[in-house]
Amino acid sequence: MNANVTNGAPDRGQSDVLDDLDEAAREARFDALQQRLPEIWRSIRKDDPRESVVVVPSMSIDRMAPSAGAMNQAMEERLLFLLLLLRQPRLRMVYVTSMPISDQIVEYYLSLLPGVIPSHARSRLSLVSVGDSSTAPLTDKLLARPRLLAHVASLIPDTARSHLIPYNSTWRERDLALVLGIPMYAADPRHFPLGTKTGCRRAFAEAGVTYPFGAEDLHSVDDVVTALLDLHAVRPAAGWAMVKLNEGVSGSGNALVDLRDLPAAGDLRAAVTDRVEAMQLESSRITLDTYLQRLAATGGIAEERIVGDEVRSPSVQMAVSPLGELEILSTHDQILGGPSGQVYLGARFPADPSYAATITQEAKAVGRVLADKGVLGRFALDFVVVRHGDAWEAHAIEINLRKGGTTHPFLTLQFLTDGRYLPDECRFRTPAGAERHLVATDHLKDDALKGLRVDDLFDLVARAGLHFDPSRQSGVVFHMISSITECGRVGMTAIGDTPASAQDVFDRAEAALLAEARDSLSPVLLAPSRAQ
């Protein structure tokens, strides 16, 4: 069945399959499931009619203040680029969301498929929706509804040739894999600590890469103050420090502490305590009390804020296959915003060659540590690079054991062009040898956009020539489309053959979209009523 399926009322709090299993039994059963992944991986692209994937883009992460409604749905739809996998002529896909996906949005993605009849791809796609727009993670919604889970399981043609693709992996996604009886292509939840801010620093130390001076496993103001006093003693010239919650994402768990002009004498601890209690939170959606409660519950770190003549924030995407192979997938320059420039807004690909090779080598060292520990699937390593004169210096700052903001733009480019990133060249090339670059954002936001419907967006795409052109392998692909009317926000990936042309495609698309939106708000002159 390919229609959107809803099941509004939650059933029991857990699936019958897992009721009698304790944690050890669940882990053992999950290990057995995961042992099937290598064979499934080898069979991929062999035109097997039994092959399928189940996509559950659940945001099972600490988002500080979870989104509801259209934005929650848009974040789940951010992985719709995976529909491009349906170019494999026999692959079947089950895609699960909290609320139904608009048919127009599905058609938009299927129209991008190279060499595939969209109706044929649509017949192999099963869309399942829970009918629940609450802030609870999608996976929780599924696990609370055994009947809906049974329906999802019925759409899998052969569990021996299927696997689960989550956004990120926690015990929730592990349990979902157990209920469906299919392995999961993602990091084992037992590796979750490696992706926390504390775990990152420990992995960096093990890999022998450069990372900011600081301390980890902090749980109180007193812990943070002690760490900052140590930082001040070792780095007296450090003017700023970052406090980061272990499980914060996209910079929303960060806070900035001013260490400038601390007293040379007197009670230094009291002075630093005052600075911590006045620290600037990157997220405006929470209070300091809430932030400190999160710190107490999940822990965090404090480290020097790296400064220099110029500071940038690139990242490296990697993957460990089920066969144990470590691959460098891409490098990006992240576009950041927010009060102190810590919130992820978008990215440019590939990263500047001035430092792309350096961060790639550092990332490889960390990737090998993670692979040796058994980490599986896609993950990314974030850096701060700072220029001193003509030289760039790289500092590793974060490991994301999940898909992230750079995943969907890069894979969209890869799926549409059949190209690949060449780490030795720090370039992406198509099979014909042509370079491709992209500029992407999740945060094209303006109140005027609320005046547009999804229909209006697609009409503009057609009129303004913004659609991705497969003959030129350039253009724009939109994502997070369902949030445009309610939230005035949409995402897009602009593709060109040079950094300048990709930026030009991006700028023209942004200008056209905002102009269309603002024109839609122009006053309409109504004819006077003829009623007497």
The DSSP result for 183-235, as a single string, is -BSS--GGGGGGGSHHHHHHHHHHHT----SEEEEE-SHHHHHHHHHHHHHH-
Cα 142-402-30 angle, rounded to 5 deg: 55
What is the average pLDDT value for the chain, to the nearest integer? Answer: 90
CB of 131 closer than 8 Å to CB of 99: yes
CATH number listed for the domain at residues 194-210+308-431: 3.30.470.20
Residues forming a β-bridge with 299:
none
Q: Is the model's pLDDT at 329 over the cut of 90?
A: yes
Q: Is the model's pLDDT at 5 over the cut of 50?
A: no
CB of 138 closer than 8 Å to CB of 58: yes
Q: pLDDT exceeding 90 applies to what percent of the chain? A: 79
Rounded to whole angstroms, the Cα distance separating 300 from 196 reads: 8
Mean pLDDT along residues 458-485: 93
CB of 299 closer than 8 Å to CB of 246: yes
Mean pLDDT along residues 147-158: 96
Rounded to whole angstroms, the Cα distance separating 304 from 212 reads: 6
Name the pLDDT band for 61 (thresholds 50, 70, 90): low
CATH number listed for the domain at residues 436-518: 3.30.310
Tell me the three state secondary structure of residue 22. Answer: coil
Q: Is the model's pLDDT at 264 over the cut of 90?
A: no
Per-residue pLDDT at 161: 94
Rounded to whole angstroms, the Cα distance separating 146 from 158 reads: 20
Q: Is the model's pLDDT at 408 over the cut of 50?
A: yes
Name the pLDDT band for 1 (thresholds 50, 70, 90): very low
Per-residue pLDDT at 68: 62
Mean pLDDT along residues 7-12: 35
Mean pLDDT along residues 284-294: 91
For the chain, residues classed under CATH 3.30.310 are 436-518
Per-residue pLDDT at 44: 78
Rounded to whole angstroms, the Cα distance separating 411 from 454 reads: 23
Tell me the three state secondary structure of residue 56. Answer: strand
For the chain, residues classed under CATH 3.30.470.20 are 194-210+308-431
Name the pLDDT band for 402 (thresholds 50, 70, 90): confident
Judged by average pLDDT, the poorest of 66-70, 384-388, 397-401, 483-487 is 66-70
Per-residue pLDDT at 62: 56
Q: Kind of pairing, strands 125-129 and 92-97?
A: parallel
Q: Is the model's pLDDT at 475 over the cut of 70?
A: yes
Q: For residues 163 and 13, which has the higher predicted lDDT (pLDDT)? A: 163
CB of 385 closer than 8 Å to CB of 394: yes
C-alpha torsion 388→391→395→400, nearest 10: 120
Per-residue pLDDT at 526: 38
Rounded to whole angstroms, the Cα distance separating 203 from 366 reads: 7
Per-residue pLDDT at 290: 93
Spatial CB neighbours of 185, under 8 Å, sequence gap ≥ 6: 37, 163, 164, 165, 322, 376, 377
